[in-house]
Every structure is written in C-alpha cells, then in structure tokens.
Amino acid sequence: MVGLAGGSASGKTTFINQLSETFGKHQICVISQDHYYKGLSEQLRDENGMVNFDHPSGIDFNRIKKDLRKLLKGNPVSIVEYTFNNPTIFPKQIIYEPAPIILLEGLFVYVDKGLDRMFDYRLYVDADEAVTLQRRLKRDTTERGMTQEEVIYQWNNHVKPAYDSFLKPYKDKADYIIQNTIDFNACMDHLISKFKSII
C-alpha cells in the first residue's frame, strides 16, 4: 500500500500517469481520492456560501478504506468516476483490479488516521507555490470551465488554507519527497527502481 499526497497542481496526476505507463495495471493499481467525494449537499461551505472542495470533511474515508481492504484481499472494486461537477462529462464506471502495488493518491490521504495506518510507503509531491498556482489557473480554466476569478477565489479561501492545515504538516513524515517545481525525472527513476524491487 502506497500513499501519494501533494498540494493542488503539484503534479500528482502527471506523475501517476507516467508511473502507470511504466508498470501497467497488472503491476500497479492507482486509485484517486477524488472519486470518493461526498455529494454536494454534504460538502462544507465557506462564509460566502461557496462549496469548499479543499477540505477533508468532503471525502468519504470509510468508503476508501472499505475498497482498499477488498483490493488487499484480492477482490476487484467498482466505483463511479468523479467528474468535478462538470455537466458536459458523463461519469464512467471504473474497475480497480488487485495488483502487487496499490497506490492511493490525493490531497488528504494522510489526514484520516485509520487510512494513514494502512500505508507501507508514503510519497509526497512538492512544488513551489507560484508554480502550482499557475498550473491550477491553466487547468481549471481549460479543463473544468472555471473563470480566472473563481480559481483565484478558491486558491485564497480554500486551497491555500487547506494546504497549510492538511498537507504541509505531513510533508516531513513522508518516506520520499518528489520535487516537481521544474520536473520529476530523477524522482521518477528512483521510484521505478524501488517499485520494480518490490514487485
């Protein structure tokens, strides 16, 4: 069981995509915390009534732990894709198959104590704040249909406070920190070697 956390737009998805291409689904099962968001009615709202998706209370950790236990016992897991509330995307059914390495990635994978105890190895993706803000602006305006003003509002009121409270404290507890301000090539090589030895 491997955990991978990191701030918003730090490069978790890109890193995992490359890792998955290297090993394939029969060797590594990658699960995204994003698919375990609770419904909109259960999400925290700020003082302006805006939904705060950058808070661990919005994640169904019990369902994550239940599904991970199934995978660890060798059973597949079926879930519905989370589409970031984008009405133009129809959610797909996702099947997770057991594999030698099960990797859970997301903002808050180390916050829940019961979930944190399940990990054998903890990774943390790190990048400079100015870089991650620019990445998030580009991603959310092009992929998620948000305006620049909406992105900046979320960053100042939700993303940055969440990073300081629920991500940064776990950085020094990670077994390995992936530096991704410029690129993560050296870190990728290191982890490929480690995962190959585990497999």
Q: Name the average pLDDT for the chain.
A: 93
Q: How far is CA 75 from the centre of its chain?
A: 22
Q: Which of the 8 DSSP states describes residue 156?
A: I
Q: Sign of torsion, CA 26 32 33 39?
A: negative
Q: How do residues 44-102 score in pLDDT, each as one tens digit?
A: 999 999 989 899 999 999 999 999 999 999 999 999 887 766 667 777 899 999 999 99
Q: What is the predicted pLDDT for the residue at 87?
A: 64
Helix (H, G, I), strand (E, B) or coil at 28: strand
Between 36 and 90, whose confidence is greater? 36
pTM over 0.75: yes
CA distances from 131 to 89, 126, 139, 170 (A): 28, 11, 12, 20
The domain segmentation of the chain, as residue ranges, is: 2-198
Distinct helix (H) and strand (E) counts, the chain: 8, 7
Q: Which fold has domain 2-198?
A: Rossmann fold (3.40.50)
Q: How do residues 142-156 score in pLDDT, each as one tens digit?
A: 988 889 999 999 999
